[in-house]
Chain A
Amino acid sequence: MSMCLTDGQLREYLDGEFPAAGAHLLECGECRGRCETVRECGVFVMDSIRSLGHVDAPVIVMRRRFDWRFATAGVLAAGLAAWFVLLPKSQPKIEHVVVSKPPVVNPPAVVAPVKTVVKRAKKKIAMPDEDSFETAVVMRVALGPDEVLADVLVTPDGRIHALCLVTEEGEGQE
């Protein structure tokens, strides 16, 4: 009879990582007994942890890298911004932009973090076209000679749907 199995080998056998252990188990009652103990313990522990709750995979919307096509959109946005900045200031503020439609029950929607400190949109300036849309790309653009930062939402058809001027986090009042 081959050598008896360690508990680690029994764990591997149960996880399908060491199928060769099966031959020994057929002929060794002692190892079969320990194998059952290892299995029961593993089921208890994994069931306990898995019952803690599960989240469906978060929906990740990756920011695209800078693209000259969107730079054009940024210039367009700059012109529109100059006009819309004169509109009443009581627009709702948005703190972050979520641009996904979760396919499952309430998954966290995530925008990939960028290396810089997350900046907070100070004010949202409504665009004339407020159609609903499912996906969009967030582009950060610099406007005008002072290079005022703004986030724009651009849908796949190239249209801009919202513009948010950006301030450093913690700076000033919202």
Chain B
Amino acid sequence: MFEQLFATHYPRVVSMLVRVTGTRARAEEIAADVFSKLASQPKGGEDLLPWLYRTASNAGLDVARANARARKLPAVPDRVEPEALDKLLQAERDAKVRRVLGELKPRDAELLLLRAEGMSYKELAAACEVSAGSVGTLLVRAEAEFARRYQARFGDRR
């Protein structure tokens, strides 16, 4: 049972954590920790999915918040190669997105992250412990809140 859960959900958890933490090493570290806790649960199974995703996304968001607090914006040199500039701008944009994700309510951030991983409404309902009929409403609210905070903090959508 645990092996089945691991094979199905580990890749998704890691992928979500890479997005939110920005490093694969950290993502795998968190995922391994969460799955080892899952393995020690006396009764396994699909009913542990909400716990699994909530714990993983919360741990990832903690990292994103800590990084946002610690982060100093990189100084842009006078002359940089176009490719390096692209990377710099992408890193800057990533930091903004992670910062806003870290500011959302944990469940809103979790919903958006899992939706971005391609979860269906049915899967989202199971993973986030909400009714299938409320997924659309919760998603649209979480998206609106993300966009509102992003624009309030950074001024535009770039």
Contacts and interface: CB of A to CB of B under 8 A. Distances in A.
Interface of A: 6-12, 15, 17-18, 38, 41-42, 44-46, 48-55, 57-58, 60, 62, 108, 110, 112-115
Contact of A38 (B15, B20, B39, B140): B140
A53 B7 contact: no
Contact of A8 (B22, B27, B140): B140
Contacts, number: 114
Interface of B: 3, 6-7, 10-11, 14-15, 18-20, 22, 24, 27-28, 32, 35-36, 39-40, 90, 93-94, 97-98, 101, 112-113, 115-116, 121, 134-144, 146-147, 150, 157
Contacts of A51: 90, 93-94, 97
A55 B26 CA distance: 13
B97 A54 contact: no
Contacts of A108: 14, 24, 28
A145 to B, nearest CB: 31
A51 B14 CA distance: 16
A113 B35 contact: yes
B121 to A, nearest CB: 5
Contacts of B146: 45, 48
27 contacts: A7-B144, A8-B134, A8-B140, A9-B136, A11-B137, A12-B136, A15-B136, A17-B136, A38-B143, A41-B143, A42-B139, A42-B143, A45-B146, A46-B116, A46-B143, A52-B19, A53-B22, A54-B15, A54-B18, A55-B15, A108-B24, A108-B28, A110-B28, A112-B3, A113-B6, A115-B36, A115-B39
By secondary structure, the B interface counts as helix
Contacts of B97: 48-49, 51-52
Top 3 nearest A-B pairs by Cβ distance? A8-B137, A12-B136, A57-B11
Contacts of A11: 136-137, 139-140, 143
Nearest to A54: B15
B18 A53 contact: yes
